[in-house]
Amino acid sequence: MTAVPAQVAGVKEIVVVSPPRYRGSIHPVILAVCEELGIDEVYRIGGAQAVAALAFGTQTIDPVDKIVGPGNQWVQMAKRKVFGVVNIDSIAGPSEVLIIANDKANPAWVAADMLSQAEHAPGSAVLFTDSQNFAQRTLEVLKERVNELSRKEDTIKCLLKFGAIIVFEDFDGVITQANFFAAEHLEIQCGDESKRIADRIKNAGAIFI
């Protein structure tokens, strides 16, 4: 998410921090991505303490020039505090994803993306569709998969407060409301029609097809 743009921009040294899991290890998927990208400086630390370590340095972590990447409210406040000591990308608010999908989409994929967003807590996860059947299938997957999460309770609270599955009569209504919503992250999962739908979106932070 941030390492690839940094590499494209020609950044010579990239440092990755990631909070350890309950047994003290970094998630293997993160390590695999770092291996693929050739990043060999990875530290088991996360949260506001990681921001402080990167800004001021520790006995084992050298201070950096710039801190980038998302995080919860504590991370954002920490980035705000160290700005001036070190450069930062931005101070982000609660994250959100809006997914536009039709019956050509995979409900398991849509549910997974909604859960990954809600797991942030707070963060909104919303589905717009024109298919009642697809909406119901996605809801069933959500109810099943949420029980598998380590942050099950936080995710459920977030979905109940900030999540929604909305069925429209037609895609004209979907497009109109999507442009009004102006999502930070907009996913379009509509098979061969995705590109055509994306061309009608005028207001979105980032569009993923």
Residues forming the active site = 184-185
Buried b (16+ CB within 10 A) or exposed e, 155-184: bbebbeebbebebbeebeebbeebeebebb
Place of tokens 């009608």: 200
Q: What CA–CA distances, in Å, run from 14 to 4, 60, 95, 189?
A: 10, 16, 24, 33
DSSP code of 101?
Answer: E
Asked if 111 and 99 count as a contact pair (C-beta separation under 8 A), the reply is: no
* Half-sphere exposure (Cβ direction) of 186: Cα atoms closer than 13 Å: 26
Cα–Cα dist 82/86, whole Å:
6
